[in-house]
Amino acid sequence: MSDIKVEIKNIERVYALVDELKGVDRNRAIRSGMIQGAKVFTRLGRKNLRARNDEHTGNLLQSMRWKSARNSLAVYAGFERSYKFQALKGVGNHAHLVDRGTKDRYTKKGYYRGKMPASYFWTDTRNEGGGEAMRHIERGIRNMVDSLKSKY
């Protein structure tokens, strides 16, 4: 999956929100917010891919996912590159080629095999989605904290 860093500028506000919760619930609230931010990246990536590539993009669209780490506070957004679930979901091994494109390709005998024009759908998603992801992270943390407080 792709490395995307979203930096929380006013981290004190997030700590103030989760300060009253227990350790397990605190991690749950933060992870919930981070999942909301990852969903923003996958949604924007799909939107950019549909807008910029008119041809068949089914496998790439299906391969865009978010994934939460089990043992740490981390959430990943990007393309699934594993053939493990190929029958059920799409595989995006060629995402980097569609995003950045290729130069002219020739065989050893000199036959021209074309080139892939760059669409920069994921590069632009990474650049423009940070602000919206931050808002969704904060909103997700706030919603989870409120639901956990009303639960206890």
Confidence of residue 4 (pLDDT cuts 50, 70, 90): low
Provide, rounded to the nearest whole percent, the portion of the chain with pLDDT above 90.
12
pLDDT value, residue 70? 83
- β-partners of residue 77 are 2, 66
Domain range annotation of the chain: 11-151
Whole-angstrom distance, CA of residue 52 vs CA of residue 79: 17
Q: Is 17 helix (H, G, I), strand (E, B) or coil?
A: helix
pLDDT value, residue 62? 82
pLDDT value, residue 96? 83
99-115 pLDDT, tens digit per residue, is 889 999 999 999 999 99
State yes or no: pLDDT of 91 exceeds 90. Answer: no
Identify which has the larger pLDDT, 89 or 104.
104
Q: What is the mean pLDDT of residues 37-49?
A: 90
**Which residue has tokens 């609230």?**
29
Identify which has the larger pLDDT, 114 or 22.
114
What is the model's pTM? 0.76
**Which residue has tokens 């792709």?**
2
Q: What is the mean pLDDT of residues 81-95?
A: 69
Closest CA to 142 of 14, 23, 21, 24: 14
pLDDT value, residue 86? 56
Q: Do residues 80 and 91 touch, judged by C-beta distance below 8 A?
A: yes
